[in-house]
């Protein structure tokens, strides 16, 4: 029914993989670890095609709440310019990447949402390159990317809890 074709990356239930073969009875996919998985077509109730027409990379960058938001957003906008200027990536982008903005506060951090629409199947490579550019930009600016464990330790160090009776 034209839901997918050989080469597409699909999701069926808990299985995600690239379609290698299709018959009237089964669809065979290979997952990211190289496992060949056979799915009886009678078991396919819902199929998600991750590479039909275009793909998308979406991710959040977590930084500490003490960082200046506008400066952090400006730094992320600069990485969009770097990404779109990269000759190895720009052909994979179908439209300019987007800085969607402050997505949420969780504990001592804020999460900033980013997104890029790519050629089918190119979202992982574009995402890895964009994350690399962000990491380098944050290192240059002295802005630490946060880890919840690191934040907890930092809060304990800067705001010790008294255990006095």
**108 falls in which pLDDT band (50, 70, 90)?**
confident
CA diameter of the chain: 73
pLDDT (mean) for 70-77: 96
Task: Please write the tens of the pLDDT for every residue from 41-67.
Answer: 999 999 999 999 999 999 999 999 889
Q: d(Cα 132, Cα 155) in Å, to the nearest integer?
A: 27
Dig out the tokens for 90 from the structure: 């720009």
H-type alpha helices, 65-147: 69-85, 123-141
Task: Please write the tens of the pLDDT for every residue from 140-157.
Answer: 999 888 765 554 554 455
Question: Per-residue pLDDT for 161 more than 60?
Answer: no
Residue 23, exposed/middle/buried by CB under 10 A (0-12, 13-18, 19+)?
A: exposed
Which H/E stretch holds residue 149? helix 148-158
Residue with tokens 């074709």: 5
pLDDT (mean) for 24-31: 96
pLDDT (mean) for 92-103: 97
Question: Per-residue pLDDT for 14 more than 90?
Answer: yes
Q: Buried b vs exposed e over 85-107: b needs ≥16 C-beta within 10 Å? A: ebeebeebbeeebebeeeeeeee
Beta strands at 98-106 and 109-118: parallel, antiparallel or unpaired: antiparallel
**36 falls in which pLDDT band (50, 70, 90)?**
very high
For the entire predicted model, the pTM comes to 0.79
pLDDT (mean) for 88-100: 97
pLDDT (mean) for 112-136: 96
């Amino acid at each position: 029914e034209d839901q997918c074709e050989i080469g597409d990356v699909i999701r069926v239930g808990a299985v995600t993989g690239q379609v290698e073969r299709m018959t009237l009875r089964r669809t065979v996919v290979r997952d990211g670890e190289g496992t060949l998985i056979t799915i009886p077509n009678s078991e396919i109730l819902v199929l998600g095609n991750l590479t039909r027409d275009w793909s998308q990379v979406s991710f959040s960058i977590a930084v500490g709440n003490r960082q200046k938001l506008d400066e952090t957003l400006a730094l992320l906008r600069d990485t969009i310019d770097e990404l779109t200027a990269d000759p190895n990536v720009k052909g994979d982008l179908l439209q300019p990447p987007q800085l969607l903005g402050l997505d949420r506060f969780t504990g001592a951090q804020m999460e900033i949402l980013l997104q890029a629409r790519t050629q089918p199947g190119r979202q992982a490579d574009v995402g890895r390159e964009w994350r690399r550019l962000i990491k380098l930009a944050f290192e240059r600016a002295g802005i630490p990317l946060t880890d919840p464990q690191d934040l907890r330790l930092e809060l304990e160090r800067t705001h010790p809890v008294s255990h006095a009776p």
